[in-house]
């Protein structure tokens, strides 16, 4: 079970917007960096725009960050691209057999642990800004 790759792509997009802020950041340009279809980029950009993380103008090619990179946390990015999906990182399979002792009790036994893990992940993502990511990329290059 993994978090959607949209999360990593969204971070890639935002990082590129910062690094190339003087350039023209069209969906084609961004798609070439991500190595995906521009339609995928436009879909994710729409989510980021709706969340207030980027500014796009209909009919005008290009996008920019809506706020300085040190004010954008990875938790905000995660929530922006997971908004149309289940909020939970983990979920228990549906309809376990109620006649089975395990099936009848598994969800209750796992819920607390899964919620704690979700909170720990969200707490960690809230501590990391886009600036951290961009700085790390620059250090590594």
Which residues partner with 73 through β-bridges? 129
**pTM for the structure as a whole:** 0.85
Q: Which tens digits make up the pLDDT trace of 95-122?
A: 889 999 999 999 889 988 988 999 999 9
Q: Which tens digits make up the pLDDT trace of 33-51?
A: 999 999 999 999 999 999 9
d(C-alpha 120, C-alpha 107), whole Å:
20
Q: Residue written as tokens 């990875």? A: 74
d(C-alpha 136, C-alpha 118), whole Å:
25
Contacts of 68 (CB under 8 A, 6+ apart): 131
Q: Which tens digits make up the pLDDT trace of 55-106?
A: 987 767 789 999 999 999 999 999 999 866 555 677 777 888 999 999 999 9
d(C-alpha 80, C-alpha 77), whole Å:
5
């Amino acid at each position: 079970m993994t978090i959607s790759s949209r999360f990593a792509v969204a971070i890639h997009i935002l990082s590129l917007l910062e690094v190339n802020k003087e350039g023209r950041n069209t969906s084609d340009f961004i798609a070439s960096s991500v190595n995906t279809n521009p339609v995928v980029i436009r879909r994710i950009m729409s989510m980021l725009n709706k969340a207030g993380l980027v500014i796009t103008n209909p009919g005008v090619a290009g996008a920019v960050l809506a706020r300085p990179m040190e004010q954008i946390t990875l938790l905000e990015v995660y929530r922006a691209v997971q908004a149309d999906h289940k909020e939970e990182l983990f979920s228990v399979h549906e309809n376990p057999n109620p006649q089975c002792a395990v099936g009848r009790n598994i969800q209750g036994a796992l819920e607390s642990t899964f919620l704690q893990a979700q909170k720990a992940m969200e707490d960690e993502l809230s501590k990391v800004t886009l600036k951290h990511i961009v700085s790390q990329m620059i250090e590594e290059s």
